[in-house]
Amino acid sequence: MSLKRLSALNSRAIWVCTLLLCLVGCGGGGGSSSNNPPAVTQDTSRALAQICSKESPYAAKSSIPTTQGVLADEKKWIKAYMSERYLWYKDIPTLNADESRYNVLAEGVVDVWSSLLNYFTDSKTPLKTAIGTLVDKFSFIIDSVSWNSYVDSSLRGYGVMLKTSTEGGLKVLTVAYVYPNTPAMSAGLARGDQIIGIDGASVNDTSPQGADTFNEGLRPTKVAPHKFQILRAGQIVNVTMQAEVITLQQVEYKVLNVGSQKIGYLLFNSHVPGAESYLIQAMTNFKQQGISDLVVDLRYNGGGYLAIANALAYSVAGRTLAQGKVFEWTQFSDKRSSENYAMNFTSVGLNNQVYPSLGIAKIYVLVTGGTCSASESFINGLRGIDVQVELIGTTTCGKPYGFYPQDNCGITYAAMEMEGLNAKFEGRFSDGMVPQCTVLDDLNRPLGDASEGMLSVAIKRMQGQSCSQAAGLAIGSQDLSGMALRDHGVLLRPEWQTNKFLNTRPSFTSK
């Protein structure tokens, strides 16, 4: 059964992304326009901002006025910024800014990007979680032109979401999702297709020429058609596609009639502004049809605006359960405790659109390692007001943190600044949220198909089966429940696109 396709596309071009905490700048810099940096009277990020290395190719593209300085000035700004805003500021290692690692030369010229990236990366906390992964695997930097294009939803692509895995030592690239009304859909690409070659270059071609050819076809930098070699059900299929500037429809939905049950299925891929009208349409349809159960598919949702997660959670829980309750406590470091605040549940989303109230006491959420940030806040926020949320799939990415992007000299910095907790002050899931029923992503069936692995388990759980029964596993009395299993494939998207943002500095109740 195919998903219900929505009649219109989002008004903004959006990639598989996440947005939310968008304040610009740490101050306007200052000083003279001479080659020597101005004297700084205090070592704050505001006083040190926008004093840029003369070798920087990024400062010239900055939307904020800059002053010419030297590379050391940008490193001083990073040190001040991290000291002031970083959640783990107490754990910042002591660095010698004069080391060659932070003054990289390329053919005798200062490599500004590599120098600053190394300095920023080495400034992050070295602490690890209980299972040995870095506590901060999320803070990043990116050139501001790319960041602004990302936030403004400008994308040239095919409209396909890919997962990468390794089998027998070889890379496998599989289509996980095809967005409606995109070049990929027009070309007939489908979930489960494997991309084995592009323009004559194999996915496993390790030669420089072959790798360049494959990568150019996968993420085109030029306007040109590309020939894809696809493996589909054991057969080779040739497909030609040309990337276009497109809008990605982030929401699809349907109602499944299973016996006497009416089950709402909501596929939600990104908490972005253009998704809101579709979310409201979906939830309104569910309310009109009187659904008895709800499945929210967040398996590929990397996060986004917290305001959207909040409004969707309110819509699920309804006025009686959510009104006046805290959706998420936002907590900064101890030196910024006065900035801590409570974001209450609200039916009004990011675009001031009102979400309907369903009042559902238990929902099923489909998750993978691609479920991150604002998506995890949606889950955690509902649990904070005693809405039962049963997770089905594999362990989520584990990102309870958020940030305000800061531009300096044409580079956007995103150091994690805050941690989110629910109304019960529960959170701290940096190793991910473990599902109640562990099920691998089933790439062989369409999303929304009642026989698709994860959705079928959710339906059977509604009918009273145990996790092991629902998954069809003959494992005796052992119940496949609460296992911290990671998915065998990962989404092919930059790590920095899995984030949680706040749209403005809040004026909520402090605590």
pLDDT of residue 404: 84
Note the pLDDT tens digit of each residue in 39-48. Answer: 444 689 999 9
Q: Please tell me the predicted confidence (pLDDT) of residue 495.
A: 57
Location of structure tokens 């323009």: 199
Side-chain half-sphere CA neighbours of 81 within 13 A: 30
Tell whether domain 251-502 is in CATH 3.90.226.10.
Answer: yes
- Report pLDDT for 490: 72
What is the DSSP track for 269-299? --B-GGGHHHHHHHHHHHHHHT-SEEEEE-T
pLDDT at 30: 33
* H-helix or E-strand spanning residue 52: strand 51-53
pLDDT at res. 154 = 57
Q: Evaluate if residue 11 carries a pLDDT over 80.
A: no
What's the mean pLDDT in 119-123? 98
Q: Name the helix (H) or strand (E) containing 261.
A: strand 261-268
Q: Is residue 34's pLDDT more than 80? A: no
pLDDT digits (tens, 9 = 90+) for 451-496: 999 999 999 999 999 998 888 754 333 344 444 555 566 766 655 5
The sign of the dihedral angle between the CA atoms of 39, 45, 46, 50 is positive
How confident is residue 130, by pLDDT bands cut at 50, 70 and 90? Answer: confident
Task: Kindly give, in sequence order, each residue whose CB lies less than 8 Å from that of residue 410, ignoring residues fewer than 6 positions away.
Answer: 52, 56, 58, 59, 60, 61, 62, 66, 143, 144, 145
pLDDT at 9 over 70: no
Look at phi and psi of residue 84 and say left if phi exceeds 0, alpha if psi is from -120 to 50, else beta.
alpha
Residues carrying CATH 3.90.226.10, the chain: 251-502
Question: Which of the residue ranges 25-29, 148-152, 225-229, 386-390 would you say has the lowest mean pLDDT?
Answer: 25-29
Chain segment 394-451, per-residue pLDDT in tens: 999 999 998 888 999 999 999 999 999 999 999 999 889 999 999 999 999 999 999 9
pLDDT in tens, 155-170: 788 999 999 998 888 9
- For the chain, residues classed under CATH 2.30.42.10 are 158-245
Answer whether residue 337 shows pLDDT above 90: yes
- CA 104, CA 118: separation in Å to the nearest integer? 9
Provide, rounded to the nearest whole percent, the portion of the chain with pLDDT above 70. Answer: 83
Task: Please state whether beta strands 388-393 and 362-367 pair in parallel, antiparallel, or not at all (unpaired).
Answer: parallel
Residue 53 has pLDDT above 80, yes or no: yes
Residue 358, SS3 per DSSP: coil
**Contact (Cβ atoms closer than 8 angstroms) between residue 256 and residue 224:** no
Q: Which residue has the tokens 């299925």?
A: 265
Architecture of domain 158-245: Roll (2.30)
pLDDT tier for residue 133 given thresholds of 50, 70 and 90? confident
